[in-house]
Chain A
């Protein structure tokens, strides 16, 4: 199955999300802040990244921008996870290069659908650029 990188600073949410995704057969890599997420994106080459947007040290938007700027990592689909329900969050996330956007509390089944869709799209050779970028 696929390797998913979860970048999330909240311990409970990181733990809960990683365990639920692991149950669905994915191997999970964890990062607790922006810089760690950036590093692990290079060292573990995940198939997909779930990125919390409000992260300490370097926020999810910045990490996303950097990953999407580098041809090495630009192809990794990124799903933005935010606790906001603001339109500007969504557009900022998509502009930063995120491929999808989910609001917390996460609708888990919908998240699974999105993950599956993005993984399939990637496998079929589509370049995973930002939707709006």
Chain B
């Protein structure tokens, strides 16, 4: 039923009702002859009255229609909007009648129910997902716990390994210290007695003096070995002492010269010094730097005869930082490429006869290289067989802080170098 026709119908019904009421009133007046003048007047005005009542009823019906149909339209529009949003085909169809409205409401209700079911399904799915997620989280947590436990164990093993390595290194150091003690005690007697006998023999017997000198030299050589081995083991155990001090190149040169001159000049070599005037002050471990330079100069003197040994110094400030470069060049026997390859390896003398002919321990360069590295510097060599050798030592003009920090835990010191064996390998 259309809403417009509802309004028309209610209007007509109003007119009919008015006519009926009028008819009823006038007839009752006719039936009553005693009726007064106003009744007559009323019956005369009857058609107009009827029309008036009809008009009132029509207006009432129209307003009722407006009051009912308007909101109904709004409801219908709203329903249509929902239905279209819900994607049902019902949205296009007009729903001006109550049935349509009912259908729409019904559809909407069904829709709502299906939505409710959907929501429930979604809810269930969500709960399942949540449960799965929780399970996965629990599983992952368990895995992570295992992983952490595994890592902690691995770390524990690492720490244990490191501790045992450190213990081994300490044991090695202790062993070397003890061994050095054991070796030094008889050596003390050997060197002491031979020196004492030499004091006696110097006037009496030339040959026994020479023999004693050999014993003393062998003792000194043994001592040099012990000192070098101790040095090397100190370095390897990470217990090398580095003591930074301000160094003036002139003072350093004076110290180097006083010790190295006899070593360099012994084979009738000329000793040339260059460049120290341009270096100025810098900071390093002077004892260690001296040790390196003295070893290089002693080697140069040892392996050069009637030649020239040059000690050169320079300061280099560039992208590599502020560096001091020392160069020890000789015109001696030189080295083969093979020899150069083995040069910085412990006990690597050119051949077995070297010790016999030249003395030395074969440890000097191995120690020098480690010392240079410890000072954050480097050592390099160029050499040609028969044409001479050149060693270059580069050290930073300031010892890096971490190098000193590393060295601060050291317990060994340099007393081994103050003993008479310090220059023994050169004698």
* A-to-B contact residues, CB < 8 Å: 10, 12-13, 16-17, 19-20, 23, 54, 82-88, 90, 101, 103-108
Contacts and interface: CB of A to CB of B under 8 A. Distances in A.
Interface stretch (B125-133, B260-268, B418-426): B418-426
A38 B419 CA distance: 28
B411 A104 contact: no
A83 B182 CA distance: 8
Contacts of B364: none
A34 to B, nearest CB: 17
Given A17-B192, A105-B187, A85 B416 contact: yes
B177 interface: yes
B196 A19 contact: yes
B188 A83 contact: yes
Contact of A85 (B180, B182, B410, B420): B180
A95 B232 CA distance: 28
Nearest to B190: A105
Contacts of A84: 177, 180-181
B202 to A, nearest CB: 13
10 contacts: A10-B185, A12-B189, A13-B189, A20-B195, A20-B196, A83-B181, A85-B230, A87-B413, A90-B413, A105-B421
Contacts of B180: 83-85
A15 to B, nearest CB: 8
B82 interface: no
B191 interface: yes
B186 interface: yes
Interface of B is mostly: helix
Given A13-B185, A84-B180, A107 B411 contact: no
Nearest to A19: B196
B195 A108 contact: yes
Contacts of A108: 192, 195
| 3 closest cross-chain pairs (CB), A and B | A87-B413, A12-B189, A85-B416
B411 A87 contact: yes
Interface in B158-205: 177, 180-182, 184-189, 191-193, 195-196, 199
B195 A10 contact: no
Interface of B: 177, 180-182, 184-189, 191-193, 195-196, 199, 219, 223, 227, 230, 241, 410-413, 415-416, 418-421
A12 B230 contact: no
Given A12-B186, A87-B412, A105 B181 contact: no
A110 to B, nearest CB: 8
A105 B177 contact: no
A83 B189 CA distance: 12
Contacts of A23: 196, 199
Given A87-B415, A104-B188, A105-B219, 19 more contacts: A12-B186, A12-B193, A13-B192, A16-B192, A19-B196, A20-B192, A23-B196, A23-B199, A83-B180, A83-B181, A84-B177, A85-B227, A88-B411, A101-B415, A103-B415, A104-B184, A105-B184, A105-B188, A105-B420
Contacts of A19: 196
A16 B193 contact: yes
Nearest to B181: A83
B196 A107 contact: no
Contacts of A105: 184, 187-188, 191-192, 219, 223, 419-421
A81 B230 CA distance: 19
Contacts of A16: 188-189, 192-193, 196
Contacts of A101: 415
Nearest to A12: B189
A58 to B, nearest CB: 19
B412 A86 contact: yes
B246 to A, nearest CB: 23
Contacts of B177: 84-86
Contacts of A82: 181
A103 B192 contact: no
A54 B181 CA distance: 10
Contacts of B223: 105
Contacts of B421: 105
